[in-house]
Structures are given as structure tokens and as C-alpha cells.
């Protein structure tokens, strides 16, 4: 269960990161809205569908349901990675870790520092 939880709880963060890399600045908020909506739909549909599988197969049906749902998700992810062109290195952004307790002002300062031209 620890491995399952460690893998599953990272999906949203990785999806958000991937989405931020691919979308223009004008589309970030609608993209985040869509991601939250799909996550909510999955949070509603997942337990209902899993309960249906468990009704048919008994308690062990939860593992089959999880394997099928996650397997379909993995196939989708692989298909998307193969279908999309890679992001050119010049367009990739530098990762800037921001502590959880920091404010929006800190995020703005880090953003400005990344935009500043290099002085060699």
C-alpha cells in the first residue's frame, strides 16, 4: 500500500508540471481548471466503478479494478508522450523550488531572477 500510495499521489503533481511545460501562459488557468475537473470526476467515478467490480468479484476485485484503471492510465500516458514532440531545450524553464511557507512575493522575486539576462 505504501508503494501504491507513493506512486498514486504523485500523479497530480506530475500532471500539473507537464501541463505547465506544454501550455502557453494564457492557457494555464483553463488548463488547471480542466485538470482539477478531471481529477474530481475520477474521484467520483473511481469508487463507484471499483465497488461495482468488487460486487462482481468479491473483495479481491479492488486489486483488479486498480490494475485496470491504472493500466489504462499508463497506456494513455505512453501514447501522449510518443505523440507529442519534445520541448526544445531553449523553451524549457528552470526549476525553482519554492518553500511551502513562502509567499507570493517570493515566487515573484524568483520569477524575476530567472528572467534577468545573464552577465558574463
Question: Residues 8-60: pLDDT tens digits?
Answer: 788 888 888 888 878 888 898 999 999 999 989 989 999 999 999 999 999 99
All three cell numbers of 101: 511557507
Which residue in 50, 56, 54, 19 sits closest to 34, CA to CA? Answer: 19
- Residue 113's pLDDT band, with cuts at 50, 70 and 90, is low
**Sequential DSSP letters for 60-110:** THHHHHHHHHHHHHHHHHHHHHHHSPPPPGGGPPPP----TT--HHHHHHH
The gap from C-alpha 41 to its chain's centroid, in whole angstroms, comes to: 15
- Say if residues 29 and 16 touch (Cβ distance below 8 Å): no
Provide CB contacts within 8 A for 20, sequence distance 6+.
28, 31
* pTM exceeds 0.75, yes or no: no
Amino acid at each position: 500500500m505504501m508503494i501504491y500510495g507513493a506512486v498514486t499521489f504523485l500523479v497530480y503533481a506530475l500532471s500539473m508540471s507537464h501541463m505547465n511545460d506544454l501550455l502557453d501562459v494564457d492557457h494555464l488557468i483553463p488548463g488547471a481548471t480542466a485538470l482539477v475537473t478531471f481529477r474530481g470526476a475520477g474521484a467520483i467515478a473511481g469508487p463507484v466503478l471499483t465497488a461495482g467490480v468488487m460486487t462482481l468479484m468479491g473483495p479481491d476485485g479492488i486489486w483488479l479494478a486498480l490494475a485496470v484503471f491504472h493500466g489504462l492510465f499508463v497506456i494513455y500516458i505512453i501514447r501522449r508522450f510518443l505523440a507529442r514532440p519534445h520541448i526544445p531545450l531553449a523553451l524549457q524553464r528552470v526549476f525553482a523550488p519554492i518553500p511551502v511557507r513562502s509567499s507570493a512575493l517570493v515566487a515573484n522575486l524568483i520569477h524575476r531572477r530567472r528572467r534577468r539576462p545573464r552577465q558574463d
